[in-house]
Chains A and B, each alone.
Chain A
Amino acid sequence: MGILEVKGVNKRFGGLQALGDVNLSVRENTVHAIIGPNGAGKSTLLNCLVGKLIPDTGSVMFDGQSVLGRQPHEINQMGISRVFQTPEIFGDLTVMENMMIPIFAKRDGAFRMHAVGNMMSEKGIVEAAEKMLVDMNMADKRDMHTASMSRGDKRRLEIGMCLAQEPKLLLLDEPTAGMARADTNNTIDLLKQIKEERDITIAIIEHDMHVVFSLADRITVLAQGTPLVEDDPQNIKGNPKVREAYLGETA
Chain B
Amino acid sequence: MLGLNKKDTTLLLVVAILTLCAPFILNPFPEGSALAQFNAGYPDLMQRFVIFGIFAIGFNILFGLTGYLSFGHAAFLGVGSYSAVWMFKLLSMNVIPAIILSMIVSGLFAVVIGFVSLRRSGIYFSILTLAFAQMSFNLAYSVLTPITNGETGLQLTLNDPRILGMSATADGSIPVTSLFGLEMRSTYQMEVGAWLFQFNAGYYLCAAIMLLAFYLAIRIFRSPFGMMLRAVKSNQQRMRYTGLNPRPYTLAAFVISGMYAGLAGGLMASMDPLAGAERMQWTASGEVVLMTILGGAGTLIGPVLGAGFIKYFENIFSKINDNVLHSWFSFLPDGLEDFIVTIVHPFIGKGWHLTLGILFMLVVIFLPGGLVEGGQRIARLFRGKKTANTSKTKTEPAE
Contact = CB atoms under 8 A, between A and B. Distances in A.
A98 B320 CA distance: 52
Contacts of B243: 73, 76-77, 102, 105-106, 109-110, 165
Contacts of A92: 230, 233-234
B5 to A, nearest CB: 7
A90 B231 contact: yes
10 contacts: A71-B245, A72-B241, A81-B241, A88-B237, A92-B233, A101-B239, A106-B243, A110-B248, A115-B252, A165-B243
Contacts, number: 106
Contact of B224 (A76, A77, A88, A119): A119
B227 interface: yes
Interface in B232-276: 233-235, 237-245, 248-249, 252, 256
B216 interface: yes
Interface string A104-124: 111001111111111110100
Contacts of A26: none
**What 8 pairs across the A-B complex have the smallest Cβ distances?**
A76-B243, A110-B245, A90-B234, A115-B225, A111-B248, A105-B243, A92-B234, A88-B238
B223 A88 contact: no
B26 interface: no
A161 B142 CA distance: 54
Contact of A93 (B227, B237, B252, B256): B227
Nearest to A167: B243
Contacts of A76: 240-243
Nearest to B67: A92
Nearest to B219: A116
Which of the four size classes fits the interface of chain B? 20 to 34
Interface of A: 50, 71-73, 76-77, 81-82, 84, 88-93, 97, 100-102, 104-106, 109-120, 122, 125, 161, 165
A89 B234 CA distance: 8
B335 interface: no
A88 B219 contact: no
- State the majority secondary structure of interface residues on B: helix
B240 A73 contact: yes
Contacts of A100: 224, 227
Contacts of A119: 222-224, 227
Residue among B219, B237, B241, B252 facing the most chain A CB atoms (10 A cut-off):
B241
B244 A110 contact: yes
Contacts of A113: 225, 252
A69 to B, nearest CB: 15
B96 interface: no
B247 to A, nearest CB: 8
Nearest to B235: A90
Contacts of B230: 90, 92-93, 97
Interface of B: 3, 5, 216, 219-220, 222-228, 230-231, 233-235, 237-245, 248-249, 252, 256
A116 B241 contact: no
Contact of A101 (B222, B244, B245): B244
Considering residues B231, B249, B252, which has the most beta carbons from chain A within 10 angstroms of its beta carbon? B231
A63 to B, nearest CB: 15
Contact of A88 (B225, B228, B235, B256): B235
B224 to A, nearest CB: 5
A101 B231 contact: yes
A101 B233 contact: no
Contacts of A93: 227, 230-231, 234
Contacts of A120: 5
Given A82-B241, A110-B243, A161-B242, A97 B235 contact: no
A100 B249 CA distance: 17
Given A116-B219, A118-B3, A118-B222, A88 B241 contact: yes
Contacts of A90: 230-231, 234-235, 238
A115 B238 contact: no
B224 A114 contact: yes
Contact of A115 (B3, B220, B235): B220
A105 B244 contact: yes
B218 to A, nearest CB: 10
A87 to B, nearest CB: 9
B242 to A, nearest CB: 5
A244 to B, nearest CB: 35
A153 to B, nearest CB: 15
A113 B233 CA distance: 17
Contacts of A118: 3, 219, 222-223
A114 B241 contact: no
A86 to B, nearest CB: 11
Contacts of A89: 235, 238
A40 B167 CA distance: 79
Given A88-B241, A110-B243, A113-B252, A104 B224 contact: yes
A186 to B, nearest CB: 21
B134 to A, nearest CB: 30
- Please indicate which of the listed interface residues A77, A109, A111 has the most CB atoms of chain B within 10 Å of its own CB: A111
Given A72-B241, A105-B244, A114-B224, 6 more contacts: A73-B242, A73-B245, A100-B224, A101-B231, A111-B249, A119-B223
A66 B136 CA distance: 44
A97 B240 contact: no
Contacts of B240: 71-73, 76
A171 to B, nearest CB: 10
A12 B238 CA distance: 26
